[in-house]
Chains A and B, each alone.
Chain A
Amino acid sequence: MNAALELHDLTVRFKRFTLGPLRLDLQPGRVTGLVGPNGSGKTTSLRCIAGNLYPDAGEITVCGRRATQHDGSWKEVIGYVPDSPCFFERMTAGNFLRFMSGFYPDWSHPFAGRLVERLKLDLGARVKHLSAGNRMKVSLVAALAHRPRLALFDEPTAGLDPIVRTEVFEVLWEMMGNEDMTVLYSTHILDDLHRLADDVIFLHDGRVRLSATKDDLIDRWRRIRFGLDQELSDLAGVVEATRVGPELEVISNDGQKTLAALSSLGATRVRAQSLTLEEIAVNIMKGNGDVTHRPR
């Protein structure tokens, strides 16, 4: 089967920032979280894939369709929820959706109608009079009504109140039941990904710092407390060590290795705990993804 999205050395150069070269390969039907601090290149990556920004180098292939400037057919299978949607402010929401439907041969009016009903959208209201939450909903319907095979979400829950956020998620979950849809979801709210994501890509300064399956991260990272009657030198997997009273607490990116090493050192009262995705992300972003031991 074709990958849903392939990036081959995608590069975008700005005056003060370079994105890439990015290599990426998203398998169909999976949800990938794109995580990184502000300015790490999340929005730029999504804009390129959606075709709103031309890369300086590299190739983008969506479901086997090469992205080129003279043939826009790859865009037909993409649904894109941008970080700041561009609307015609004086149009009504209904007219805006009708306008958008013209770009997608697979647009389904009945399905768009169902989404509008689910989200309780007022189609008669002018876009400029809509709240942030309702603008997001319009953008969501515009992105999903053609049942895209690749959905790109750029921080869809940023700035939304909890009720709208839940409604947005319900629609997403509804769509996820559809095996054909692959999702690339950018966010810095790790909570969004805790349940949703299958894979996570950590971007930093325009480059991929780490790309992993979420459950592998959850399996491997551990917080371990123990007593040890000798000074701690290099310990397999440990990325951070802190002394807590008479005991040591370490963060490990390879729990099994660390536990094995500790048992051969004769550590006592060893307790291991899993980390949340949020804690893991913070450690990876601090540069702790690689094994470096920093004694304190």
Chain B
Amino acid sequence: MIIRLSDMSPLPLREQIVRQVRGSILSGELQEQAQLPSIRALAKEQRVGVVTVQRAFEDLEREGMIFARQGKGYFVAPMTEAARKTEARDLASRMLQQPVREAMAMGLESSEIQDLVRELLASKERKHR
């Protein structure tokens, strides 16, 4: 799992950690029962305070993404492939609401927005190849 935190992002550091760890879990990169780095190790590696990492892990625990074992640290919670997909879909749907609303406010038709998304996906796929 590679975490990259940005000081330029409008998102607080804690939220950036939550999103990136969640992303690694939902994509399947972090498998269930995998152990997360210790709070102190991650704080040191990412150059952030221990409280920030602690809170981020607590957020992920509340969401059911990870769980704590007394004195052993945090582990990825068991989740079926289907549950992971549903979760990712829900999150993405919520994240896309705002930009879609703004695009509509600028007078774009739904077909134009769909075309835009298709073009974006195509260019991403080109880059990945």
Contact = CB atoms under 8 A, between A and B. Distances in A.
Interface of A: 29-31, 169, 173, 176-177, 179, 194-199, 213-215, 218-219, 273-274
Q: Is the interface of B mostly helix, strand, loop or mixed?
A: helix
B64 interface: no
A194 B44 contact: no
A149 to B, nearest CB: 16
A22 to B, nearest CB: 22
A190 to B, nearest CB: 12
Given A177-B40, A179-B40, A213 B10 contact: no
Listed residue (B7, B12, B47, B49) with the most chain A CB atoms within 10 angstroms of its CB: B49
Nearest to B55: A215
Interface string B35-57: 00000110110011111100100
Nearest to B7: A194
Nearest to B13: A195
A176 B50 CA distance: 10
11 contacts: A176-B44, A194-B7, A195-B7, A195-B13, A195-B49, A197-B49, A198-B49, A198-B50, A198-B51, A218-B14, A274-B10
B14 A215 contact: yes
A173 B49 contact: no
Interface residues of B, number: 17
A205 B108 CA distance: 56
Contacts of B40: 177, 179
A219 B59 CA distance: 13
A215 B49 CA distance: 9
Given A29-B50, A198-B50, A198-B51, 10 more contacts: A30-B50, A30-B51, A173-B47, A177-B40, A195-B13, A196-B49, A214-B52, A215-B49, A274-B10, A274-B11
Contacts of B43: 176
A291 to B, nearest CB: 22
A183 to B, nearest CB: 10
B118 to A, nearest CB: 28
A82 to B, nearest CB: 24
A177 B12 CA distance: 22
A219 B55 CA distance: 11
Nearest to B51: A198
A100 B50 CA distance: 31
Nearest to B15: A274
A30 B51 CA distance: 8
B89 to A, nearest CB: 25
B73 to A, nearest CB: 14
B51 A215 contact: yes
A218 B7 contact: no
A201 to B, nearest CB: 14
Contacts of B51: 30, 198-199, 213-215
Interface string B1-31: 0000001001111100000000000000000
Contacts of B11: 274
Contacts of A214: 49, 51-52
Contacts of A31: 49
B104 to A, nearest CB: 14
A194 B40 CA distance: 17
B38 to A, nearest CB: 10
A215 B52 contact: yes
Contacts of A199: 51
Nearest to B50: A198
Interface string B94-126: 000000000000000000000000000000000
Contact of A195 (B10, B48, B55): B48
For the complex of A and B, the 3 pairs showing the least CB-CB separation, nearest first, are A198-B51, A198-B49, A177-B44
Contacts of A173: 44, 47
Contacts of B48: 195
Nearest to A33: B49
Contacts of A218: 12, 14
A273 B49 contact: no
